[in-house]
Amino acid sequence: TKIEAFIPLHPIAERILSLYNTTDDEHPVFPLPNRDALWFEIHELGVIIGKEDNLSYHQSRHSFGTFLISSDIPIESIAKMMGHSNIRTTQGYARITDDKISKDMDKLMERRKEISVGEKKEDRE
């Protein structure tokens, strides 16, 4: 997308990066596999988890987006992490799951309960 973004790294990611070349801007930080090798690695992950269908790079990005949405990461942050220039692209990757909807409804009910308790406390004062 040619969109530059600065994203703070999780401490575990920082430790992983320390194992690789991060000082030579002429070479990639991580060794980049060719397309066939990447497909093979993703396929092997599928075998390990017992997935019978062939997995793809696109499916892994979609899963990543869905995982982040389910973890309450804002869609704007996910778009930056995935290198999208348009949030609509991110929304296509990050489908909303029933679990996410349930969590959001629980949050809404909790907020409403807090407001209600606060209103009752003000009435007594």
Per-position pLDDT tens, the chain of length 125: 667 778 788 899 889 888 887 788 788 787 777 888 888 888 888 888 887 777 777 787 888 888 888 788 898 998 888 888 888 888 876 666 677 778 888 988 998 888 887 776 676 66
What single-letter amino acid sits at 110?
Answer: E
Rounded Cα gap, residues 13 and 79, in angstroms: 19
Let me know: does 124 contact 93? Beta carbons within 8 Å: no
